[in-house]
Amino acid sequence: MALDTIDRKILAALQKRGRMSNSELSEQVNLSPSACHRRVQRLEKDGYIRDYVALVDARRLGMSTTVFVEITLQGQADDLLDAFEKAVSRIPDVLECHLMAGTADYILKVVAENTEDFARIHRQHLSRLPGVAQMQSSFALRTVFKTTALPV
């Protein structure tokens, strides 16, 4: 299904404020409430809208440290990649894991309370990941810009 201008407006609005009512959304995109509701249902059914979530403030929960971890594996065999990906997906402190092209095989985004907490995460989880040959961690000093909204 191709997206038209109204579909894109709906997606942009919901990315900014996912809990707005259908009547608010329909007003914002200049569409009747029933037509707007049908479009949202179609966008959900077709997989453009995957889910609705609450974005929680990590600092308020005491997790003010973000660490980006570059990982190089010992090899590229499918079974090694699968084992690594399965193991890393079970670490609750890892928010993102990306298979990369370039010098590192993977980049992880890890959240921690502080450097001591990251040391614990490293010792208990990251250092035990299968097939890791090298690991390099970079601590974010400050988040300059962050969004979850995709350009539509």
**For the whole model, what pTM was predicted?**
0.90
CATH number of the domain encompassing residue 11 = 1.10.10.10
Amino acid at 73: L
Quickly state the pLDDT bin for 1 (edges 50, 70, 90). Answer: confident
Residue identified by tokens 């109204």 is 6
- Ramachandran sector of residue 62 (left: φ over 0; alpha: ψ -120 to 50; beta: rest): left
How does pLDDT run across 11-68, given as a tens digit for each residue? 999 999 999 999 999 999 999 999 999 999 999 999 999 999 999 999 999 999 999 9
DSSP H or E segment with residue 88: helix 78-88
Query: Quick check: is 151 in a domain?
Result: no
CATH number of the domain encompassing residue 89 = 3.30.70.920
- Closest by CA to 139, choosing from 43, 69, 46, 60, is 69
Total domain count for the chain? 2
How far is the CA of 39 from the CAs of 1, 65, 98, 101, 118, in angstroms? 12, 40, 32, 37, 44
Range of the domain at 87: 65-139
